[in-house]
Amino acid sequence: MKLEPARRERLERAAPYVLFAAVVLAVFSPVFFLGEVLGGHHDRADQIIPIYGAFARAFKQGHVPQWNPYLFCGKSMSGSGMFVFFYPLYWLVFALPESQIPRTTSFVLIVHVVVALVGSFHLFRRLGADRFWATLAALMYVFSASAVLQMATELNFTSFAYPPVILWLVAGQTRGKLVPNALAQTAAYALLLLSSNPQLVIYTLGVCLAYAGYRAVVPQESTGPRWMFDGPRLAASLAAFAGAFAISAARWVPFYFANKSEGGATIEYADFLRMSEAGWSDFVRFVMPEFFGTDGYADFYGHINHFESIGAYVGVAGCALTVYALVLRWNRRTAFYGGWLVFTILLCLGTPLTWLHYVATGRTMLHFTRFAWLAPLPCAALVALEGRAFFASVTRARWLYLAAFGVVSMGAALMAYETQLGFQAKSVIAGQSQQAMVVFGAFFAALLAVAWTARRLGEGSPVFRAALLAVTMIDLAVAFRHEANITLPFFRPMADFAYPTGDVEAARQVSEPSHLYRVMRQPVIRNAKIYSQYTLNDRWITLGAYSSSGYDNGAPRRIIQMYLVPVGPTINRIFERVIWPMTARVAEITSTALVLSDAHPTQTIEHPVPRVKLFARWRAADDVTAVKAMFDPSYDLGASLFVHDPPSFPSVDADATGEVAITDDDFDRVTLAVKAGQPSLVLLNDTYNGGWHVDVDGQPGKVLRANYAFRAVEVPAGEHVVRWSYRQKGMSAGIATSLAGLGAFALAAAFTAVRRRRAIR
């Protein structure tokens, strides 16, 4: 039956959304129908879920968590890359029962996947692609190797959801609707800024602002100059970004100050390049993401595991079309996306662009290879823009190109296999590599068959389009299965997020105010009972800690240096995130008394310093002298206290009399009850930080840095209440700026709506 044109148009309009819904239901069917949740990378179970739990408790209490006492003996919360407390889409997650966080965040991921699909579809349509090619390219983007790996944490995937939305808005600017468009950009920019890993956010912002500048140079169709710079369009985009930054200031202003005061040490460029090494062999993942499997082959991937390598795979057809457009099809529509890919390649290969990246990011260890995580979007854009033209006329030259693409891809993989790996590594992954070649060969043969169909029936043929869509979706599904398996597993039963009895018991013990010691856990893999193979924990993961890690948030410098004695400071990022005490002495200094086995925590460390203690004997010393003495086995850590600045009372050659107890212990405050027999120093063996303030009986006290990395306060003889409170520098200003930005945004939106309504009337 022949459909009426209007009805057919409606069906064609609805078809992409129906397909997207079907794909989402299929991919996330374990969540929808089996009650499973996103399993994800181990970071999610060990780190993200517990810290979301901390956010949930703070959200219900109505305060902003600025300090995490369970991390590195205390660490700024707002300096963490996963500080998403102000991200609106998580407020429902935080408001619901904490036990449901694995489930609620799984649905948040699904929402972001839908946003990414719809946003990229509309971007490609606005760039000029028809519905079929926009739909195909959107699927390639969202289910690319890189995007699937970022789904594993769910937090990072927001940086895949918002870029196409922002680029779509930038591409759709018109003189008559600049203000409404700018307001929409502001909202999208603000959501991006409040979400995800800051490094991905920064990269995404750079791309979007560069695109705004690119689109501001417009061609002229009439007489006069061929090109014209459209200043109002660029100004609208810049104003939108400025407004969004004001709205998100509550996150970014404190983040800046926290990382400035306690972030990891900067390094030399040569070391930065070595630790972020990428080579030509990384690009094999562009056509065969599963060729070398997981991240255990450093000889092939350099020092960066494949999770942080080139993951732009958009299917065999997508890769072939991307390379074709990148080499041969440069025009006004494709130039930005082609340039984006070229920039990515040069950045990842250690060119002068890498040096500029190093300088622009404050000479830190922000890995430049992570920029490649965003590469699927320009790849998909090139497919959307040039795919139709390629298959509209499958000439002999294009047949030869496809053949060359297949031969070169397999040849590069074999060359990398032969030249980049030793005999032992080859023997381990030989079967996997052979399987990858077979899979690539099968899909490449299918692509040739689809191209033959286009030559016989035409690019607009429903048979050709259905065949290309089917081959691409199966190809992406195979890659998805492999990439998702890296997360071990991608989905898991909700019950798997229940913590072992030993974890729960450790959490119960250390949560009691009377418990003055921390817990150290044996790593799951390294079971040898030597101190260099333990990881240091403050409170356990059920209370918000994660094996002495952050999330791209290095430990405070003094803690790094102390934990690594006698090895000394290191430039390795891993040691800044998961650091092991080199000797039992580190455990003693950091108030660690218990070692957690599979069943229960047991007393193992012999002479730990309590978390709170009175000292009447003190020594003023510089950092080198203090650390050297503290790590001398003959030095009694409980006898005297090293201080950076001397207190007002003289040191006495006797132990302090009296007692001190913790009466209240929360994220941003600690309250102590003190009974001192003489003027004393009250040690709180938590990390020293300039954001901490102390009151003694309601009067401001002086915060003293003690034992190199911790803090103390002076009290006179008698009974006292000591209250510690943390206020992150920049938090008050950031919140005030965010409120002002939200107010200005609301006023501008209301004013624009009123004007539009009056204009309609």
E strands, 246-298, in order: none
Residue type, 686: D
pLDDT at position 714 is: 97
674, 662 Cβ separation under 8 angstroms = no
Distance CA 121, CA 216 (A): 22
Tell me, rounded to whole angstroms, the distance of Cα 409 from its chain centroid.
31
pLDDT at position 102 is: 93
pLDDT at position 488 is: 64
Token digits for 118? 């719809």
Of 699, 736, 728, 727, residue with least CA distance to 714: 699
pLDDT at position 309 is: 66
Model's pTM, two decimal places? Answer: 0.91
Does the domain made of 612-728 have the CATH classification 2.60.40? Answer: yes
pLDDT at position 539 is: 35
**182 DSSP β-pair partners:** none
Q: Tell how strand 680-687 and strand 669-676 pair up.
A: unpaired
Question: Which single residue is written with the structure tokens 């990011």?
Answer: 361
In sequence order, what are the residues at sequence separation of 6 or more whose Cβ sits closer than 8 angstroms to the Cβ of residue 581?
A: 520, 531, 532, 534, 536, 563, 587, 590
In sequence order, what are the residues at sequence separation of 6 or more whose Cβ sits closer than 8 angstroms to the Cβ of residue 252?
A: 193, 245, 734
590, 580 Cβ separation under 8 angstroms = no
The residues of the chain scoring below 70 in pLDDT are: 1-3, 42, 220-227, 262-266, 275, 292-309, 365, 424-425, 428, 484-488, 521-555, 566-582, 596-603, 760-761
Cα 677 to Cα 418, 652, 658: the distances in Å are 74, 12, 5
Q: What is the DSSP letter of 391?
A: H
DSSP H stretches of helix in 631-714: none
Could you report how far apart the first and last alpha carbons of the chain are, in Å? Answer: 43
Compute and round to an integer the Cα radius of gyration of the chain: 29
pLDDT at position 293 is: 55
Domain ranges of the chain: 264-473, 501-603, 612-728
pLDDT at position 547 is: 34
150, 113 Cβ separation under 8 angstroms = no
